[in-house]
Amino acid sequence: MGLENVTFSKITPPLLTRIIPRKRLFRLIDRGHSRPIIWIYGPPGSGKTTLAASYLKDRKLPSLWYRLDEGDDDVGSFFYYMGLLARKATPRKSSRSHFNLPLLLEENLLALPAFIRKYFHSLYGRLRTPSVIVFDNYHEVSAGSILHKVFHDAIVEVPTGINILFTSRYAPPPFLAGFRSKGMVEIISWEDLNLTIKETEAIVKTNRKGLKLSKDVVDILHRRSGGWVAGLIMLLMEREKKRPECSLNEPETPEVVFDYFAGEVFEKIDEPIKTFLLKTAFIPRMTTRMAEGLTGIPESESI
């Protein structure tokens, strides 16, 4: 099958429309270029993917983009798509066959660490510098996946001038601990991703040009969204459907926000955690022993 017949949603950055360049965060990523790893994390809808894509577009940096999903727990599938990504990034006037990277064959599994190092060493050597490789949605990688080992060894080989940027819903995983202790990881957290009031104002102006909102109402939207990009957009959509001004007496968290979390977060978490949350939701305070007795889940303390 030729490249033209392959769906490249996994290896193509998202299309950007009506995006506010977040210069404040761009500067944080700039600072991270002195370190090989940049880790951006925050809850769903906090703007992680958009930040990474808009940064690359703004800075005009050569880049590769890989969107992780559950299928990448199959390490053979991961290396297959990485090979497609490398070919896609090859200049048209160059020989794509020359740029091919090896497939992970069964015999390579017996010496996987050596294959990983050789693979990424070859990939890095074919990229211009500076370049950025983005791995979006790292939270899709399961806790026991061999991909954690793959990325550990890939980082060991990364040369100066190339950065690996991860986006995730969670803080850096354990395999990065050693790199963090050596100052090799730049972290942009949920606290950094929170919108400032100026960013909220800019998003309001860009996304709802026909909706006139007073400064007081924008302040209310900023407070109620809690700096959460998706929350702000949904609140704006609600305002547009109802009326141009917000009522100060409306609930702090509208139904549309609850619906978003139900679909994007709650339905995707593991069953034990879901059960724990459902059984403890209406109890304001409890000890670990109370939680274990109520839910029957011995891991209640960690949850």
CA-to-CA distance for 156 and 150, rounded, in angstroms? Answer: 10
Residue 183 has pLDDT above 80, yes or no: yes
Q: Which domains does the chain have, with CATH numbers?
A: 3-193 (3.40.50.300), 197-263 (no CATH)
Residue 6 has pLDDT above 90, yes or no: no
Residue 60 has pLDDT above 90, yes or no: yes
Residue range 224-246: average pLDDT?
73
Q: How many degrees, rounded to 5, is the angle at CA 244 between CA 239 and CA 250? A: 50
Percent share of the chain, pLDDT over 90: 47
Instruction: Lowest mean pLDDT of 75-79, 145-149, 226-230, name the range.
Output: 226-230
Question: Packing angle between helix 75-88 and helix 147-157, nearest 10 degrees?
Answer: 40
Helix ranges, the chain (H): 23-32, 48-59, 75-88, 96-99, 112-125, 147-157, 177-181, 190-193, 197-207, 215-225, 229-242, 255-264, 271-280, 288-295
Residue range 85-100: average pLDDT?
61
Residue 267 has pLDDT above 80, yes or no: no
Are the C-beta atoms of 200 and 47 separated by less than 8 Å?
no
Question: Predicted confidence band at 212 (pLDDT cuts at 50, 70, 90)?
Answer: confident
Mean model confidence pLDDT for the chain? 81
Question: Predicted confidence band at 277 (pLDDT cuts at 50, 70, 90)?
Answer: low
Q: What is the pLDDT of residue 5?
A: 41
Most confident of 24-28, 74-78, 202-206: 24-28
Question: Predicted confidence band at 15 (pLDDT cuts at 50, 70, 90)?
Answer: confident
